[in-house]
Amino acid sequence: MSSEPAAVFTPPSRVRGTLALVAGRDESAAVYRRFGSRISADGYAVGVFGTADAASGWLAAQDDAPRVLVGSDTGASAVLTALTHGDVADAAIVAGVVVDAERTPTDAERTACPVHLGVLAEQHGAHSEGDVVASLPAPADLAAIAVPVLAVHGGADPVSPFAQATEALSSIPDLEVIETVGGLHDALNDASHRSVAASIVLWLERLRAGDVHEPVIRRAVPAREQGAAA
């Protein structure tokens, strides 16, 4: 089993951090070409892997921090399991967390994005190490995760309903959740993929600044609105 990434997306200039992404079921590296290209354009290197072991090993060897594990679908379960085993990353991003690993999604349940539907249709049947069924760690194990975790989940996910998924993740001590409004299972590649990528970059910038809870930018209230509120 290779520890080399199936694909690497490199920033055009200075590297601001490193992401190692673990694919989910029936996913090749091609599924994350759009995501990797967009995140790398903002300065973060992205490697795509079939297993969490390979992703963790590669991430540990990278010089550019923060080092972030990313997982989608069963890849998210694998990432969270890796985090329960020790200090393998500075943070993690999980998308489309699976609450029932036996529930296999159709393409129509995964995304409403026509471009992503085309990518899925092209790569079906391609070998993917991410096809191993992985379950979420137990709540007590999730409670031991010591790094910040960003969860991105579709508000209308028919595979892992939003309420069930967020409840399953609620034991993680440092958890931030983003809901894609009306979104389906492939939260990184659904119709809202641009907004999701932008939100991830904002979170990464906060993480890189040293405190993921401290905003880098915020909405200022114009004076006319302050006067109206008074």
Sorted by where each begins, the domain ranges of the chain are: 7-229
From CA 152, how far away is CA 173, in angstroms rounded?
Answer: 16
Rounded distance, CA 156 to CA 200, Å?
Answer: 20
**Which ranges of the chain does DSSP label H, i.e. alpha helix?**
33-41, 52-60, 74-84, 107-110, 114-123, 139-142, 162-169, 193-209, 223-229
Give the SS3 label for residue 92. Answer: strand
The count of other CB atoms within 10 Å of the CB of residue 67 is 22
Sequential pLDDT tens for the chain (230 residues): 457 899 999 999 999 999 999 999 989 999 999 999 999 999 999 999 999 999 999 999 999 999 999 999 999 999 999 999 987 899 999 999 999 988 889 999 999 999 999 999 988 765 455 445 678 999 999 999 999 999 999 999 999 999 999 999 999 999 999 999 999 999 999 999 999 999 999 999 999 999 999 999 998 988 877 767 66
Q: Which two tokens stand for residue 13?
A: 């200039």
CATH class of 7-229: alpha beta
The Cα 66–Cα 226 span in angstroms is 38
Judged on CB neighbours under 10 Å (0-12, 13-18, 19+), 70 is buried
